[in-house]
Amino acid sequence: MKKLFGFGSKTTVLSAGSSGEGSSGVNQLPGYHVRDKDLGKIHRAACEGDVARVQQILLLRRNGPNDKDKRNRTALHLACAGGRPAVVTLLAKWKCQLNICDSENRTALIKAVQCQQEECTSILLEHGADPNLVDVKGYTALHYAAFGPNISIAAKLLSYNANIEARDKDDLTPLLLAVSENQQQMVEFLLQKEANIHAVDKMKRTALILAVNFASSSVVRLLLEQGVDISPQDRYGRNAEDYAVIKGHQM
């Protein structure tokens, strides 16, 4: 299964006015391509983490707190992606709309979790951001948490009633996604939180089948220790033991 995000190798946040990629005018923000021509004044200030400038722009009404750039991102999206908690706090005080979606239907909370920005995640949840909205892939914020090792972000989401059994467009729950991404600590955590170990995806693959195919032997062992049934078959008529034989493993 292809990795979607490079957790552990965050891209450095560049200011919107710098030349991050030569003369192309494209700068890297974790989770976003940022081009000067796409940004309004407030978006540029949010990228740079310039709280005073954001405040001034709002006071002078040069931009509103919910204004979108040319890619449907608000200043809140950009502040969360770049890990700018002071800007996030300011925008929340200005009663910005927390659940506005960008062009990929991602809320600022989803971007904060995707980019592993824990402080921004906490601020948004404390101000009422909805953890159960989905993006174009059907991922919730908890799905994005399942891609990485940050247990505290997942715990925070669950404490604000994130749906532990939410399903994406492939019917993957956060647990199934964590298994397929070989995130053992996240798998252990979600099991402790009573995630459904018997859930199956669109291909009728169980957590154990996914573990045999994509995860380490320790994840397989963890699931077996939970007493998971090895007999269920996927759409191809194979169970976890069949895949273990194909891969030359022993259950």
Domain parsing of the chain, residue ranges:
1-117
Mean pLDDT of 19-26: 35
Say what the pLDDT of residue 11 is: 33
pLDDT beyond 90 at 62 = yes
Say what the pLDDT of residue 3 is: 36
Mean pLDDT of 65-91: 97
DSSP element (H, E) containing 23? none
* Per-residue model confidence as pLDDT tens digits over 100-131: 999 999 999 999 999 999 999 999 999 999 99
pLDDT beyond 70 at 86 = yes
Give me the amino acid identity at 98: L
Report the C-alpha gap between 100 and 183 in whole angstroms: 30
Tell me which residue has tokens 């030569």: 22
Contacts of 236 (CB under 8 A, 6+ apart): 203
pLDDT band, very low/low/confident/very high, at 7 (cuts 50, 70, 90): very low
Report the C-alpha gap between 5 and 137 in whole angstroms: 14
Q: What is the pTM of this model?
A: 0.88
Say what the pLDDT of residue 250 is: 75
Say what the pLDDT of residue 36 is: 87
Report the C-alpha gap between 86 and 196 in whole angstroms: 37
DSSP element (H, E) containing 132? none
pLDDT band, very low/low/confident/very high, at 5 (cuts 50, 70, 90): very low
Say what the pLDDT of residue 97 is: 98
Residue 105 CA neighbour count, 13 Å, CB half: 9
Torsion of CA 33, 34, 37, 43, to 10 degrees: 140
pLDDT band, very low/low/confident/very high, at 203 (cuts 50, 70, 90): very high
Say what the pLDDT of residue 30 is: 64
pLDDT band, very low/low/confident/very high, at 26 (cuts 50, 70, 90): very low
The tokens describing 52, both together, are 């005073």
The tokens describing 9, both together, are 């190798």
Q: Which CATH class is domain 1-117?
A: mainly alpha
Say what the pLDDT of residue 28 is: 54
- What mean pLDDT, rounded, does the chain reach? 89
- The number of residues making up the chain comes to 251
* Per-residue model confidence as pLDDT tens digits over 214-245: 999 999 999 999 999 999 999 999 999 999 99
Asked whether the beta carbons of 126 and 101 are under 8 A apart, the reply is no
Residue ranges in the chain assigned as alpha helix (H):
41-48, 51-59, 75-81, 85-93, 108-114, 118-126, 141-146, 151-159, 174-180, 184-192, 207-214, 217-225, 240-246
* Per-residue model confidence as pLDDT tens digits over 158-195: 999 999 999 999 999 999 999 999 999 999 999 999 99
Mean pLDDT of 9-18: 32
Cβ neighbours around 68 below 10 Å, total: 18
User: Helices 41-48 and 85-93 meet at what angle, rounded to 10?
Assistant: 140
Mean pLDDT of 64-89: 97
